[in-house]
Structure 1
Amino acid sequence: MSQAEGDRHSRGLRYALSQLPLVPRILGLVYRASPGWTTLRVALVVLQGAIPLGIVLATRSLIDLLASGGLSGAELLARRDLLVLGGALVALIGLAELLKSVSGWVGETQGEIVRDHLAGLVHEKAVQADLSFYETPAYYDQLHRAKEDARVRPAQMLDSCATLLQAGVTALSMVLLLASYTLWIPLLLLVTAVPGVFLLLHESVRRHRWAARITPQERRAFYYDYLLTAEESAAEIRVFDLGDAFRDAYQSIRRTIRDERFALGRKEAWGQLLLGLFGLLGLGVACLFALIRFLAGALTLGDLALFYQAFERGQSSVRQLVARLRRLYVDLLFVGNLTSFLDLEPSVVTRSADPKPFRFEDAIRFENVSFRYPGTEALVLRNIDLELPKGSVTALVGPNGAGKTTLLKLLCRLYDPSEGRITIDGVDLRELDLEDYRRRLAVLFQTPLLFHGTAAENVGLGDLVRGPDEALVHRAAEASGADEFLRALPDGYRTELGRTYVGGHQLSGGQWQRISLARAFYRQAPLLLLDEPTSSMDPWSEQEWLRRMRDHLAEATALIVTHRPAPIGLATSVKRLDLGRLGGCTDDVGHLTVPAAGTRQTAAHGSDT
């Protein structure tokens, strides 16, 4: 081994040892997920580990009895102790098989429970994570590894610990049994395991480093797999004939990963072969020693059989220990991915232990707000001073990339300003309870959620706290312009939307947008935030939507982000954002045409504040 390889191995070992404190934590998670199943499994494992000792001792006694000589077959069969020993041996073997089957079932059931529990923890943390986490490739790598590791690692660790306990009990009992004959044979048994420990350390560190290195490639392969199978990309793949290119890209990445994995497996297989030969040599030495002692009259035939069985079972248990230690060691290297993800803490949180109550009687104000996305230097918003009075409808216009959607996200407290503050009736949003504040918002995002469930469920997602309210669902859909086409569906509001499930009905982009708007209306919140609300509507649908919205916004406080002229007609004021800076209130919004007189829009000039 070179100096560089030795240093890498040493660093990997130190890292693995640093992960040891995670073992109690993971086992604690496992126990909390399934306390009853965990206790039952431990009991079964201990019993399974102890049974081989009983089998070996019963076998020795039975062979010694059979080899005692001087008894005919009929006399042997008439002996009660022979029948008891034979029955005990059969019972122990049968019990071992029964426990093996029951333990397998218990382990599989417990594994499913633990996987679902940990998947729930990952989902909970993903929902709590700051939106900024989704802006970095590192987060996606971490999320990918956490999801994969939550699916397999804890269950593997549980299997490894169960096997370690079972093999440990068996190995210890065999070592103590062999030690009653001579001390150097148990030492030989342990010495044959030492090379395996060093080999597993080296292989595990190498495999962990390889897995961390290929995570971006794995994610890219998953991305191509998604593109090739997703409805969203199906049309362009066919029109632009992208199928072969994407398939080749996927296969190329998978081929590279597969070849590297095969190479690792080949090296590990050679190592395991050498370990097996070394163990076979140890077994040969032990058997030779026992044979010599038997020929010398120091051991009975039963002792000879016991000696072979005990050493072979002990060696098998030690090999299991080494293999499971290797598996546990690998899992320790990887389980840090899961725990580090679960330890992520969001920065957008309720800042005060005693948050101030929500009140909205005056206005929302952006006070000298500047913002840059985490991990970047460029300011997206610069020194924004903006007032949204209660009862006003403000249209926010400007070119692509001006920062309009970012401003809306700040108002949702998906991010906090880098400089300045946002207040509502003079209270910084960061001093309000985050969950309570967000419940006061009804939002239509530029790319809304297309939930593949029933139409009623889609609308009802706007307020799960309220619970199902069929009448309100219909009123929200009517206000958004979705009621007419939803009633015309095969099962009306009970129709499954999307083609993911059997019986699903696909909608147009404009129809999905109106359902998402109905979801926002269903919440009946005092603040309405709309990001490009008519971008997927045709002109006729847009005019009908405007007619309905004028009634709905009669007493609303709303912010509408738009590129299109029509929604501006709903506004009481228009703000223009360009290159992160806010201009004055104006009728002149560049390439947009201001609607005719009679709308709610007012003409004002000068400062925004």
Structure 2
Amino acid sequence: MPESVRALRLWITTAFRAAPALVVAQCLLAVLQAVTAPAQTLGVKLLVDGITGDDSSAIGWGTAVIILGFTVMFVGMVISGPIQDTTAERVAGQVYRDLLDVTVSVPSIIHHEHPEVADKLELIREHAWRLGMSFEMLLFIIGTAANTVAVLGLLGSVHPVLLLLPVLGLGRVWSSYLSIRRLQDAFEETAPQGRVIDRLIEISKDARNGLEVRVFGLRSVLVDRLSRLHDELYDVQGTAMRKGALLDGSVRLLFGLVYAAAIVWAIARARAGGISAGDVVLLILVAPQVDQMAGGLAGNVYWLGEVLRSFGRYEWLRTYAEKNSWAQSREPAPTRLSAGIRLENVEFSYPGSERPVLKNVNLTLPAGATVALVGENGAGKTTLVKVLARLYDPSAGTVWIDDTDLRTIDPAAWRKRMSAGFQDFVKFQLTAREVVGIGDTERQDDEQAIQAALVRGDAEAVVARLPKGLDTQLGKKFTGGMELSGGQWQRLALARAFMRERTLLLLLDEPTAALDPEAEHVLFERFAEASRVAARETGGVTILVSHRFSTVRMADLIVVMVDGQVTEVGSHEELLDLDGRYAELFEMQARAYR
């Protein structure tokens, strides 16, 4: 099925799924309102013919049609507004719910790393409001179709050759479509520049960036970069606009000249007795309606094209989500690890990059072990963590959970058996209770579980300082919201990570970067205790990424990574005896402390 047809089908079905009864009622009302003006024009024709021909029946019918038309217009104006507003709100709500559901249904995050996919996702996000207004455009199409049929019927009743006039009028629609298509292509071409412009604006207005922007004098750098990008963007888009305006103006001029000639022709035929005076009046009154119809289509072809293009992107997103849903992964997640997690010849490369981030990784993480990943920035530690969480699938090789390929395990079921704390944690602007509780949505209202997580995350003191305790709204974006320091946010993020108990995999990627070494040491002791509990009950594995060797040395197993490869594996003492890269890094940090 062609992409445009799939997009049109999605457009129509989205509206009917949102509010079927209201949509049907609104469509019928749109048809009645659309044929009102042509019907009244017919009434005027009958009235003129009746008066000039002394035909009382034609006068009566003409008067009745005109009065009925005014009645329909009045009733439509009264009831269509509330119905249309209600329906549009429901359609917009349906669209935004569907977009959110489809977007977050993709189990992997690899699409965020692909520039082409990221551009399309950005366009979908920016233009989502067009999907919400789609119902109004749908009504416009239905009304225009009904109006076109009525106008063609009137013109054909005067003379068949006049049916060519609306066809010429549709030339304006054709020219507008070409102009808008050229402009849309320009928008697609400049999408990367648009994304960078948005990011630069975000940098300049975000209070967190204000200090560095001023200290390093970045004002001119940001403004110059923004100006260059705007020049590039407007050069492409402006050229498309100028060409479109020239084409549209030429077609409109031709349409006006031909319609003027048709009216002169009709007057001449009426004087010769070929048509009635009412027919001439009909043609004169229909002329503005044809112009209005063509102008309405020409004026709205941009929005029609944009809505259809937006639904095309939305259909692409739905197809992408379906193809990348990992539907073949249906094995249940184990409830306990007996052997552990094993990586066999694992490699990974980001989309569009030929350079692998992970290279031939062979590693065994024993059940119940606390494992520390060590290495310089860019060594591949965080990528390895994401592969274990199955946010990515390896480009080559296999991750074994005991004797089961991780690719075959339902990703949602696997993630329910794991938890994580990251350096780049999200500052959810919710209540403190929710910020912690969403770490385990099945127990987010369990007060005892939340309190236990606060203890394990060393976050009791943070909550104690909040004016309303756990019920305090966090974040300055809300009235009365309480802003926290980086360390306080991080402690709540750690408490969130500890909401899930008896996990098979606990991932801690620089989870204490905003804390001092002493606080990190205390927290890691709690991590170790949680790991020992998990080891006894589930054989769970704890993975810790940290640059502080005073903490790392407490791990059961230390894995050293260099340039995407595992170069050393062992305990702290074993790696010191090996006198390799780990010993070198440890000694460098120890000298710094001394």
* TM-score category of the 2 structures, normalised to the smaller one: 0.7 to 0.9
Within 5 Å, give how 1:383-422 maps onto structure 2: 383-422=360-399
Within 5 Å, give how 1:423-434 maps onto structure 2: 423-434=400-411
> Which position in structure 2 is the counterpart of 1:554?
532
Instruction: Note if 1:533 corresponds to 2:511.
Output: yes
Instruction: Note if 1:475 corresponds to 2:460.
Output: no
Distance (Å, rounded) in 1 between the aligned partners of 2:193 and 2:244? 23
User: Structure 1 residues 421 and 520 mapped into 2: Cα distance closer, same or farther (>3 Å)?
Assistant: same
> Which position in structure 2 is the counterpart of 1:592?
586
Instruction: Note if 1:278 corresponds to 2:278.
Output: no
Give 1:429 shift: 1.7
Q: 290-299 or 224-233: which moved more?
A: 290-299
Distance (Å, rounded) in 1 between the aligned partners of 2:469 and 2:302? 58
Instruction: Note if 1:45 corresponds to 2:30.
Output: yes
Aligned partner letter, 1:162: L
Give 1:438 shift: 0.8
Contact 2:349/2:358 (CA < 8 Å) preserved in 1? yes
> Which position in structure 1 is the counterpart of 2:558?
574
User: Structure 1 residues 476 and 44 mapped into 2: Cα distance closer, same or farther (>3 Å)?
Assistant: same
Instruction: Note if 1:118 corresponds to 2:95.
Output: yes
Distance (Å, rounded) in 1 between the aligned partners of 2:99 and 2:212? 33
> Which position in structure 2 is the counterpart of 1:486?
463
Aligned partner of residue 203 in structure 1, secondary structure: helix
Q: 1:306 aligns with which of 282, 293, 298?
A: 282
Contact 2:32/2:72 (CA < 8 Å) preserved in 1? no
Instruction: Note if 1:92 corresponds to 2:69.
Output: yes
> Which position in structure 1 is the counterpart of 2:494?
517
Aligned partner letter, 1:62: L
User: Structure 1 residues 327 and 495 mapped into 2: Cα distance closer, same or farther (>3 Å)?
Assistant: closer
Distance (Å, rounded) in 2 between the aligned partners of 1:353 and 1:480? 33
Instruction: Note if 1:29 corresponds to 2:14.
Output: yes
User: Structure 1 residues 197 and 80 mapped into 2: Cα distance closer, same or farther (>3 Å)?
Assistant: closer
Q: Could you list the per-position Cα deviations for residues 122-177 of structure 1 after superposition, in whole angstroms to 9, with x for gaps in the alignment? A: 32333233222111221211111222343215735x44443333223223222222
Q: 564-573 or 478-487: which moved more?
A: 564-573
Instruction: Note if 1:372 corresponds to 2:349.
Output: yes
Give TM-score scaled by structure 1 length.
0.84
Contact 1:49/1:166 (CA < 8 Å) preserved in 2? yes
Aligned partner letter, 1:568: V
Q: Could you list the per-position Cα deviations for residues 348-405 of structure 1 after superposition, in whole angstroms to 9, with x for gaps in the alignment? A: 7363455564432332222343333343333333333333333222222222222222
Q: 39-48 or 97-106: which moved more?
A: 97-106
Instruction: Note if 1:166 corresponds to 2:151.
Output: no
Within 5 Å, give how 1:209-288 maps onto structure 2: 209-254=185-230, 256-258=232-234, 261-288=237-264
Contact 1:350/1:434 (CA < 8 Å) preserved in 2? no
User: Structure 1 residues 139 and 525 mapped into 2: Cα distance closer, same or farther (>3 Å)?
Assistant: farther
> Which position in structure 1 is the counterpart of 2:579?
none
Distance (Å, rounded) in 1 between the aligned partners of 2:445 and 2:132? 38
User: Structure 1 residues 454 and 352 mapped into 2: Cα distance closer, same or farther (>3 Å)?
Assistant: closer
Within 5 Å, give how 1:316-327 maps onto structure 2: 316-321=292-297, 324=300, 327=303
Give 1:498 shift: 2.4
Contact 2:173/2:294 (CA < 8 Å) preserved in 1? no
Aligned partner letter, 1:167: T
Give TM-score scaled by structure 2 length.
0.86
> Which position in structure 2 is the counterpart of 1:145?
123
User: Structure 1 residues 478 and 372 mapped into 2: Cα distance closer, same or farther (>3 Å)?
Assistant: same
Q: 1:132 aligns with which of 101, 110, 115?
A: 110
User: Structure 1 residues 433 and 585 mapped into 2: Cα distance closer, same or farther (>3 Å)?
Assistant: same
Give 1:453 shift: 1.2
Q: 233-242 or 547-556: which moved more?
A: 547-556
Q: Could you list the per-position Cα deviations for residues 185-220 of structure 1 after superposition, in whole angstroms to 9, with x for gaps in the alignment? A: 223x13423543542343233222211111111111
User: Structure 1 residues 98 and 232 mapped into 2: Cα distance closer, same or farther (>3 Å)?
Assistant: farther
Aligned partner letter, 1:383: N
Aligned partner of residue 402 in structure 1, secondary structure: coil
Instruction: Note if 1:336 corresponds to 2:312.
Output: yes
Aligned partner letter, 1:537: L
Give 1:288 shift: 1.7
User: Structure 1 residues 82 and 574 mapped into 2: Cα distance closer, same or farther (>3 Å)?
Assistant: same
Contact 1:149/1:337 (CA < 8 Å) preserved in 2? no
Instruction: Note if 1:563 corresponds to 2:547.
Output: yes
Give 1:82 shift: 6.5
> Which position in structure 1 is the counterpart of 2:271?
295
Question: Which 5+ residue runs of structure 2 have no aligned equivalent?
Answer: 535-540, 577-581
Identity across matched positions, percent:
28
More helix by share: 2
Aligned partner letter, 1:28: T
Contact 2:46/2:58 (CA < 8 Å) preserved in 1? no
Give 1:595 shift: 13
Distance (Å, rounded) in 1 between the aligned partners of 2:570 and 2:3? 59
Give 1:435 shift: 1.0
Distance (Å, rounded) in 2 between the aligned partners of 1:481 and 1:25? 49
Give 1:586 shift: 3.7
> Which position in structure 2 is the counterpart of 1:446?
423
Aligned partner letter, 1:243: R
Instruction: Note if 1:206 corresponds to 2:182.
Output: yes
Count of residues paired in the alignment: 571
Distance (Å, rounded) in 1 between the aligned partners of 2:157 and 2:63? 24
Give 1:472 shift: 1.4
Q: 229-238 or 458-467: which moved more?
A: 229-238
Q: 481-490 or 525-534: which moved more?
A: 525-534
Contact 1:497/1:507 (CA < 8 Å) preserved in 2? yes
User: Structure 1 residues 538 and 276 mapped into 2: Cα distance closer, same or farther (>3 Å)?
Assistant: same
Q: Could you list the per-position Cα deviations for residues 499-522 of structure 1 after superposition, in whole angstroms to 9, with x for gaps in the alignment? A: 222222222222222111100111
> Which position in structure 2 is the counterpart of 1:542?
520
Contact 2:398/2:405 (CA < 8 Å) preserved in 1? yes
User: Structure 1 residues 574 and 321 mapped into 2: Cα distance closer, same or farther (>3 Å)?
Assistant: closer
User: Structure 1 residues 94 and 566 mapped into 2: Cα distance closer, same or farther (>3 Å)?
Assistant: farther
Q: 204-213 or 334-343: which moved more?
A: 334-343
User: Structure 1 residues 61 and 472 mapped into 2: Cα distance closer, same or farther (>3 Å)?
Assistant: same
